[in-house]
Structure 1
Amino acid sequence: MEGLRERKKRETRQRIADIAMGLFLQRGFDDVTVAEVARAADVSVNTVFNYFHTKEDLFLDRSEDVENLLARVILDRRPGESAVGAVRRDFFESLRDGDWRYGMHEGADLFTRRVRESAALQARLSLMTRRREELLAEALADETDADPDDVTPWLVAAQICSVVTTLTRHFAVRRMAGEDGDRIVSDIRAQAEIAFDLLEHGVGDYALRPATDG
């Protein structure tokens, strides 16, 4: 059970993060200082840094959840469910519910725009993406009792992450272009079916050039 002290710390952290994100989305990440966030949250700068080690952590306050997402999905998969099957199910559940965890939610376009405006955020997001892939590969290796020299978990992790990243990017780009959210989700759903089918059945016959006569 969460104690009163832990609950207050969690609530304070969330309040600071929410206020910071509001400022970042309104004005841009590089144009807001940590001191301004502290004043808006009515806390000291030291308090902000007690909860967030860097300014980037304020913007990406859910980074740990994002990095661990796919590994957690694999570890929590159902009996008889494959790695790809588990991610596929979780992805479509998120799409159905409008959940944030795959980046397909209201406000994703503005979030992406702010990231693209900041080199610091782009660098940090690249590290998060790499870490997510590493954690997924490690989970796959553990679950399959793979030999340390076996690259299969890493190959599978790279392919799963590539599909998720591509679909997420496609959603954000179309939202930034002003397309209707419901239409994008409908298209993403169809494209995701194809993407996960490719993961499950392979790409060996994709772009097969017809044989020539003779």
Structure 2
Amino acid sequence: MATETVSSAPPAGLRESKKQETRQLISDHATRLFIAQGFEQTTIAEIAAAARVAKKTVTNYFPRKEDLALDHQDAFIGSLARTVTDRQAGESALAALRRAFTDAAKAAEPVAGFSGPDFAGMIADSPTLSARLRDLHDLREAALADALAEATGAARDDITPRTAAALLGAVHRTLFQRIQELTLAGQDNPRISATVTAAADSAFGMLEPSLADYATA
């Protein structure tokens, strides 16, 4: 009679769920310490101790210290490109991005810059995080350029998608910074949302003459 082999390893779905829980636990403790002590002053050893994991576990999940503070960076980098890829029929890239930003501002979404005063202060007080945030804006713009090139069938050496991405990325970068400034000034999200929604109308409107029909689905 054949005997069954019983595996002690948890199912793949359970293992992945456990990994996500551990990752979130480490991130939460890191953010708490960064806000309380400052990013530059907080060590990986302190984060590991707070999360009750080994230092190697922290660095396995977050190879760079900045990743612990900016742990949604992948979603941020791909946000504008996804908006263009998922634009509605008959909608230009500009119209899609304008609509998406307005929706994000009304919902006070973190990816648009609504991070709260503690988090915004942590970024502003850290040269390392401020520099990394600039890098993320650059990476987001590059991803947008790729999406625009694909949407328009542009040749590899065509500068048009990169130029359009630079213009659209600059508007998003400016609005993101404005949200951070108003947050640090003590304004609440509803007031900030109203302010930047009006500012977005003006900023995106400046691009209408050149990009109104660009990359229309």
Q: Fold match, TM over 0.5?
A: yes
Matches of 1:181 and 1:135, distance apart in 2: 28
Matches of 2:188 and 2:122, distance apart in 1: 20
- 2:55 is the counterpart of 1:45: yes
Q: 1:129 to 1:94 in 2, by over 3 A?
A: same
Q: Which amino acid aligns with 2:148?
A: L
Question: What corresponds to 2:78 in structure 1?
Answer: 68
- 2:75 is the counterpart of 1:34: no
RMSD: 1.6
Q: 1:20 to 1:50 in 2, by over 3 A?
A: same
Structure 1 length as normaliser, TM-score?
0.88
Matches of 1:12 and 1:82, distance apart in 2: 41
Matches of 2:184 and 2:29, distance apart in 1: 23
Report runs of 4+ in structure 1 exceeding 3 Å deviation: none
Choose the corresponding residue for 2:26, options 2, 5, 16: 16
Q: CA deviation at 1:77?
A: 1.1
Q: CA deviation at 1:36?
A: 0.7
Matches of 1:138 and 1:173, distance apart in 2: 30
- Return the structure number with greater relative CO, CA threshold 8 A, min gap 6: 2
Q: 1:143 to 1:202 in 2, by over 3 A?
A: closer
Matches within 5 A, 1:37-116: 37-105=47-115, 107=116, 109-116=117-124
Structure 2 length as normaliser, TM-score?
0.86
**Contact 2:148–2:161 (CA under 8 A) maintained in structure 1:** yes
Identity of aligned residues (%): 43
**Contact 2:108–2:193 (CA under 8 A) maintained in structure 1:** no
Runs of 5+ consecutive residues of structure 1 not aligned to the other structure: 204-214
